Amino acid sequence: MTCDLGDRAATRALAAELGARDGGVDVLVNNAGLGDMGVFERSSEEKTLGMLEVNVSAVLILTRALLPAMVKRASGGVLFISSGFGLGYLPSFSAYVGTKHFITGLANTLRAELSGTGVSITQVCPGPVATEFEENAGNFTGRKVPGFIEISADHCARAAVNGFESNRAIVIPGLFMKLAMFVNGWTAGFIYRPIAALLGRLARKAQLGKAE
């Protein structure tokens, strides 16, 4: 079935059709997502709102529509494909980071609410994955993600499924991201903020310099 998840009415229609099927849906994988790269005041409001529809509204609509049947059956689950940005932040991705922090809050809270119901909730927080995401996000730097950071879509998918089947709360695919998120978890905010500020100034200079 095809659906434009940026169209709220179409997403609701899809959710209704799936919910009406015999047996319902065993596992919902919220995988669709898009990003936007650049300083916030130079961003397109239309593109940002479209990103919110896909990354937040569609996830909310589908999860809300299909979850009650899972709870009633005492089985099934939801697999949220999120981002490492759901656990941290980086200049040039402000609105995208916001959408992924929403997913983190939703997934963590749902997992707590559904404890003991037989329904599983797993959030996957990868770093860069080799898909068309980077190109569509508008990479103004002209530089590719280093190979030692980027993982394949197959690697990410296998880690996600294995984590879900093991009923893990959070899955972080890739050695580099595991180390980065470990450091992020143990680094006080006052240490990272000056680093992020420097990265923000460099990103602003790079983007605005290309625009002149």
Distance of CA 8 to the CA centre of its chain: 18
pLDDT value at 167 more than 60 = yes
Examine the residue annotation and report whether 192 is marked as an active-site residue of this protein.
no
Which residue in the block uniquely carries the two structure tokens 């998120």?
Answer: 181
* pLDDT, averaged across the chain: 89
Cα 26 to Cα 77: distance, rounded to the nearest angstrom: 7
Per-residue pLDDT at 57: 98
The arithmetic mean of pLDDT across residues 109-123, rounded, is: 95
For the chain, the domains span 19-211
The arithmetic mean of pLDDT across residues 178-200, rounded, is: 76
Question: In this structure, which topology does domain 19-211 adopt according to CATH?
Answer: Rossmann fold (3.40.50)
C-beta of residue 29 within 8 angstroms of C-beta of residue 120 = no
pTM of the shown model: 0.83
pLDDT value at 50 more than 90 = yes
- Would residue 3 be called left, alpha or beta, if left means φ above 0 and alpha means ψ between -120 and 50 degrees? beta
- 96, 119, 159, 203: the catalytic one is 96
C-beta of residue 126 within 8 angstroms of C-beta of residue 174 = yes
